[in-house]
Amino acid sequence: MPATILVGAQWGDEGKGKATDLLADEMDYVVRYQGGNNAGHTVLAGDQLLKLHLVPSGILYPHIVSVIGDGVVVDPAVLLEEMDELESRGIDVSSLLISGNAHLVMPYHLELDRVTERHLGRQQLGTTKRGIGPAYADKAARIGLRVQDLVDEKIFRQKLDVVLKEKNLVLSKVYNRLPLEGETIVERYMDHGRRLAPHIADTSAVLSRALREGKRVLLEGAQGTMLDLDHGTYPFVTSSNPVAGGALTGSGLGPREVDRVIGVTKAYVTRVGAGPFPSEERGEIGETLVRRGNEFGTTTGRRRRCGWFDAVLLRYAARINGFTELFLTKLDVLSGFSPIKVCVAYQVDGERVEDVPFHQSAFHRAQPVYEEAEGWREEIDGCTSFGDLPPAARSYVDRISDLGGVPVRSVSIGPSRAQTLSAP
Ligand code: IMP
């Protein structure tokens, strides 16, 4: 049975949580493959809203095994806090699996994320300050500590000894911060290790076996295509690979084990943090999108930057990820806008370009070329079928399929499950 990958087509916050939630019924495993607690999704646990950052949302379904894959960076304190919170609401977390290869976010990563951002001054990236970049940097430099080290105190100490000497020098001599105390870190992390031990596994082997047995696996990306370390708007990106290729390295599955790649895209565009955003609306329109779409980050509470739908980005994301279908979210937010603009190309130095410019300076200068679509006045959040939507809303969805070259299969018109329409 082949696996399905779910990827954000924009700068994150596309509503992947809702798409995962809808797919959960037909899945046996839900896997996070990259990122860490920089991500966030709001889920309904019992009758209360709960914010999850590390635990895959599949945890809410007793029939699903939730997996934190090899490509994730794990802050064990945050993970345990989420597990405790879930248990206190009566949700069983005993089946959660964590790859032993996943890297650990360490206290010095958090500290370094804060001080290096400050050091960058006006060049700040606007990170979530969760230690994500420094943790991936250590992974690439081969000085990272991994989840499996939590259950081997001797190895943990050896690795920490070496790395902490260097980190403390950097913290104290470069950034004028107090050095961190090794023994405190060992005690705390060994304590986390004792609690997490029953969940640590060879998750790549588990998933591969599951697929052979005909089980259904969903690989769930955090962030989005334009925040990808290799294919996003570098350096204004996260430090991992949310794109479909990252789902393979981040879970330990091969390319022939996937046959469906779902791109999740909002009906407009948002981004948090710094970096280029050609169709951004800074005035009244942006404000209305923030208000109607409640565009504030789940992790940091920051107001999201908002703008019109960008088909250039969608075509790019479709190419990089090989989308087989689209899940369009928050169409209801666009009710009342007239006309609705769609960015179909960019103008760069007087020339029209149809693709994302490969040079970052050109992308920074890109101006949107808009096509205008007819708007609709009525609220659509109560529609129960695609045919119920006003003709202008249906045309808008069709236009997105045409411009992206990928069919929109589902349209979300509100937060609840029922507010999801299948497109013909
Ligand atoms: P980091 O991932 O914390 O290093 O932040 C790098 C960039 O990615 C910043 O612009 C963040 O705002 C952005 N970012 C990280 N995680 C998310 C997310 O889940 N949604 C949207 N933006 C994110």
Sequence-distant (6+) residues with CB within 8 A of 64 are: 24, 27, 28, 29, 30, 58
Whether residue 342 contacts residue 399, with contact meaning beta carbons closer than 8 Å, is answered with yes
Cα(189)–Cα(119) distance, integer angstroms: 29
What pLDDT was estimated at residue 414?
94
Report whether residue 8 contacts ligand 1, using a CB cutoff of 6 Å.
no
Is the dihedral angle over the CA atoms 355, 361, 364, 365 positive or is it negative?
Answer: negative
The residue to mutate among 117, 124, 227, having the most atoms of ligand 1 within 8 angstroms of its beta carbon, is: 227
Distance 274 CA to ligand 1 centre (A): 10
What pLDDT was estimated at residue 46?
63
Report whether residue 125 contacts ligand 1, using a CB cutoff of 6 Å.
yes
Report whether residue 103 contacts ligand 1, using a CB cutoff of 6 Å.
no
What pLDDT was estimated at residue 68?
98
Indicate the helix (H) or strand (E) that contains 108.
helix 107-120
Cα(81)–Cα(88) distance, integer angstroms: 11
Look up residue 149 and give its two tokens. 């080290």
DSSP state of 232: S
Indicate the helix (H) or strand (E) that contains 341.
strand 340-348
Distance 384 CA to ligand 1 centre (A): 34
Distance 129 CA to ligand 1 centre (A): 9
Show the DSSP H helices in 279-409 as ranges.
284-293, 311-321, 360-365, 391-404
What pLDDT was estimated at residue 45?
64
Look up residue 25 and give its two tokens. 């019924």
- Closest Cα to atom 8 of ligand 1: 238
Distance 272 CA to ligand 1 centre (A): 7
What pLDDT was estimated at residue 299?
76
3-state secondary structure of 278: coil
DSSP string, 135-189: HHHHHHTT---BGGGGG-HHHHHHHHHHHHHHHHHIIIIIT--PPPPHHHHHHHH
pLDDT along the chain (424 residues), means of 10: 96 92 92 95 73 90 96 98 93 96 98 90 87 98 98 98 97 95 98 98 98 97 97 96 98 97 98 94 96 89 95 98 98 97 97 96 97 96 97 98 98 93 93
Beta bridge pairs of residue 30? 66, 218
- The question of whether 199 is a catalytic residue gets the answer no
pLDDT in tens, 105-137: 999 999 999 999 888 887 888 899 999 999 999
Of residues 314, 176, 162, 223, the one with CA closest to residue 13: 223
At 407, the amino acid letter reads P
Beta bridge pairs of residue 367? 347
The string over 166-188, giving b where at least 16 C-beta atoms fall within 10 Å of a residue's C-beta and e elsewhere, is: ebbebbeeeeebeebeeeebbee
Of residues 251, 220, 222, the one with CA closest to residue 36: 222
Report whether residue 130 contacts ligand 1, using a CB cutoff of 6 Å.
yes
The residue to mutate among 272, 296, 302, 304, having the most atoms of ligand 1 within 8 angstroms of its beta carbon, is: 272
3-state secondary structure of 311: helix
What pLDDT was estimated at residue 378?
96
Measure the CA angle with vertex 346, ends 295 and 244; round to 5°.
Answer: 60
3-state secondary structure of 343: strand
Report whether residue 39 contacts ligand 1, using a CB cutoff of 6 Å.
yes
What pLDDT was estimated at residue 121?
82
The string over 230-248, giving b where at least 16 C-beta atoms fall within 10 Å of a residue's C-beta and e elsewhere, is: ebbbeebbbbbbbbbbbbb
Report whether residue 132 contacts ligand 1, using a CB cutoff of 6 Å.
yes
Measured in whole angstroms, how far is the alpha carbon of residue 41 from the centre of its chain?
Answer: 9
Cα(306)–Cα(277) distance, integer angstroms: 9
- The question of whether 138 is a catalytic residue gets the answer no
Beta bridge pairs of residue 373? 340
Cα(348)–Cα(259) distance, integer angstroms: 36
Report whether residue 233 contacts ligand 1, using a CB cutoff of 6 Å.
no
The residue to mutate among 128, 296, 304, having the most atoms of ligand 1 within 8 angstroms of its beta carbon, is: 128
Task: Out of 21, 41, 199, 231, pick the active-site residue.
Answer: 41
The residue to mutate among 6, 38, 124, having the most atoms of ligand 1 within 8 angstroms of its beta carbon, is: 38
Output the pTM of the full model. 0.96
What pLDDT was estimated at residue 1?
81
Report whether residue 276 contacts ligand 1, using a CB cutoff of 6 Å.
no
pLDDT in tens, 31-80: 999 999 999 887 766 677 788 899 998 898 999 999 999 999 999 999 99
Cα(343)–Cα(309) distance, integer angstroms: 6
Whether residue 258 contacts residue 2, with contact meaning beta carbons closer than 8 Å, is answered with yes
How many Å from the N-terminal Cα to the C-terminal Cα in the chain?
Answer: 25
Distance 252 CA to ligand 1 centre (A): 24
Whether residue 32 contacts residue 69, with contact meaning beta carbons closer than 8 Å, is answered with yes
Report whether residue 12 contacts ligand 1, using a CB cutoff of 6 Å.
yes
Whether residue 32 contacts residue 220, with contact meaning beta carbons closer than 8 Å, is answered with yes
